[in-house]
Chains A and B, each alone.
Chain A
């Protein structure tokens, strides 16, 4: 494929193109209408998290209730079952954080080696990696569970972290990215200066690969943060659960609870709070993921 790869730093062939001359009112209106579809559910979730159970059932979903209950609801979320929500949050941060750092480190090393070294077997190994992108991860979850249970790894944090470390797509992305971001001449120059291969990787390549690494890290982070299937089957103990499984259990309890305890407002507020960290991460790291994704898209 001949299309070039976009690198976050610069897109030199793209001139400032005079596009401001024809704004289309029709297209603008159509798109802003379409945005409602994407935003209204999130807005509903926020507004609902400011209501108590009574208002939830009796007031219109897109406007505030009689009382502003957001802070009372947040207090409920964090005191539910002796503060288990905070525990779920910390678990999620640890699982997603360790997985993201580990997976991107492995992918960066492998991608860099595939891009910058010609070694026997490179082609075959890279083809195998590419083929593995197609392997459906959830189809592997059940056999992985069985394997882990024979070695006693189930119901431990490793059961969620280890499977998340293998990310063939990240290797592919880092290889494409490293091919352009690290010039061969720079590596040669460093070798002339007597730098070892490991030092070249850690001190020269890693810096140039920064935007690519951030992209891979963000997407593996989101992958583990949002994962439900794997922790659901791997973990039993309540104190090991991540947010996804915890909230789902809480929701099931509130749906089945009937008159016992109406938890709806707590579930909704907990759900709303759980999406904030990722939204903040995506907002702050825009520059990276918006362009970093092009690397896969253009050469994919």
Chain B
């Protein structure tokens, strides 16, 4: 290829990527940089806006509300993500094993909640949990079980975990199921001739083969957990004492910016949250990929 043709092709390649990178720079990079910039200032009633260096960050690290929100999110992450990914993996493996009747219908029905907007999911579960005409209360009442307030201060986090699990098991299952379908069946046949059980097959052939897909779902779930906003925002009216202003970091940043009008501190919280998410996702990625790189 002559260099003139090559140069012409490069030009077209840049033209193809240009629109995306214009949007990328203005909609992702610029807000990120601006948020970092804002976080170094403070707007005081007396004295106006002044540069304060890392003061907002020092404040965040001593802010019991922010730290509690971060702790709550971490608890959410440690409890909810394994349950959700485990359920999704179990369903994907069961459907892929071909031992279940009606697997095509099952796959669709489990996926269905993903098509329900988060707002509707929270609103619906709020009603299901609630005292007014809550289905859960109706059922436990009919069974003679003691009445429990599912929206109490100590239960609200678990109530939210359930909503998120309900919404995303199906999505994660489809990602894993699609990956399972792309494993060459020769691998199964060889193992089945050797007399391996389905459990053994799943554990030593299928799960290792779809590790990239599982990793993808785990990372997206981590990012999602740290960003929880809809649930506290919409449930605060029916669980006003359990959901504090700083229930999750993202909800806290929203309240700081739009209720307290403390834009600079909100920017610092949002920026810190982004950094925490990137560190956690990166660590998860590194720890799982190390083994693959060695092999």
Contacts and interface: CB of A to CB of B under 8 A. Distances in A.
A283 to B, nearest CB: 7
Contact of A23 (B27, B100, B111, B135): B100
Contacts of B244: none
Contact of A3 (B133, B209, B223, B281): B209
Nearest to A17: B185
B182 interface: yes
B82 interface: no
A6 B119 contact: no
Interface stretch (B16-24, B42-50, B53-61, B63-71): B16-24
B123 A117 contact: no
Nearest to A170: B20
B182 A6 contact: yes
Q: Specify the main secondary structure of chain A where it touches its partner.
A: helix
B101 A28 contact: yes
Interface stretch (A66-74, A79-87, A206-214, A287-295): A287-295
A42 interface: yes
B20 A106 contact: yes
A181 interface: no
Contacts of A165: 23, 27
Contacts of A166: 20, 23-24, 27-28
Nearest to B10: A119
B271 interface: yes
B40 interface: no
Q: Specify the main secondary structure of chain B where it touches its partner.
A: helix
Interface string B261-295: 00100110011011001100110000000001000
B24 A275 contact: no
Given A134-B277, A251-B123, A297 B128 contact: no
B123 A3 contact: no
A35 B107 CA distance: 9
A132 interface: yes
Contacts of A5: 182
Interface residues of A, number: 111
A286 B189 CA distance: 28
Contact of A44 (B123, B135, B213): B135
A157 interface: no
Contacts of B254: 142, 229, 233
A222 interface: yes
Contact of A113 (B17, B99, B179): B17
16 contacts: A3-B183, A3-B212, A19-B99, A27-B100, A57-B132, A117-B9, A135-B274, A139-B271, A139-B277, A146-B263, A171-B20, A255-B238, A256-B237, A264-B133, A267-B123, A294-B175
Interface of A: 1, 3-6, 11, 13-15, 17, 19-20, 22-24, 27-28, 30-32, 34-35, 37-42, 44-45, 48, 56-57, 60-62, 105-107, 109-110, 112-114, 117, 119-120, 122, 125, 129, 132, 134-140, 142-147, 162-163, 165-166, 168, 171, 197-198, 201, 222, 225-226, 228-229, 232-233, 243-245, 247-248, 251-252, 255-256, 264, 267-268, 271, 274-275, 278-279, 281-283, 286, 289-291, 293-294, 296-300
